[in-house]
Amino acid sequence: MRIVVLLLVSIVLSSCTGTGDSIIRNIRFKNNTSQTILIQCDSENVLAVSENINPNTFGRDYNTSSSFFGFAAFDSIVMKFPSNKGYICSESDNTLCFPTKGGPRSFDTNDYIQEGSNYYYSITEEDYQNAFDL
């Protein structure tokens, strides 16, 4: 009898895999400045993304799952203005990241603006004015 109970417990526990449906969100940058922004994202020390985002426009869409929110999939993100000012937000050093808000690698959805299942990280004119020399 004890073997049957252990067998039933084993079957029940092994059927609990935790692989429920994942929530997919679209995230992107929004350039709310008067300047073009160059966005460069590295993954494992390899340039994975390089895009220019014109003033008052959105960048391309990125998909993210509920367990991996934001641009945290990238090791570092460089946001550079034509004046050679900008921000560097990385896994290892955030001294040149946004001092007044969480960076785009943040897991906090409060750092993003939500519109339905779409989220965007806004770079503002104030961010441009306060950018670091790169």
Per the domain annotation, does 7 fall within a domain? no
Q: What is the pLDDT of residue 37?
A: 96
Per the domain annotation, does 9 fall within a domain? no
Per the domain annotation, does 27 fall within a domain? yes
Question: What does the radius of gyration of the chain's CA atoms come to, in whole angstroms?
Answer: 20
Residues of the chain predicted below pLDDT 70: 1-25, 63-72, 107-109
Q: What is the pLDDT of residue 25?
A: 65
Q: What is the pLDDT of residue 72?
A: 67
Rounded Cα–Cα distance for residues 103 and 126 (Å): 15
Q: What is the pLDDT of residue 133?
A: 95
Q: What is the pLDDT of residue 22?
A: 56
Q: What is the pLDDT of residue 7?
A: 40
63, 48 Cβ separation under 8 angstroms: no
Q: Which secondary-structure segment (H or E) carries 13?
A: helix 2-14
Got the DSSP string for 54-84? Answer: -TTEE---EEEETTS-TTTTSSEEEEE-TTS
> What residues contact residue 121 under an 8 Å CB cut-off, 6+ apart?
27, 28, 29, 30, 70, 71, 104, 111, 112, 113
Q: What is the pLDDT of residue 6?
A: 37
Number of separate domains in the chain: 1
Q: What is the pLDDT of residue 125?
A: 95
Domain encompassing residue 80? 19-133
Per the domain annotation, does 105 fall within a domain? yes
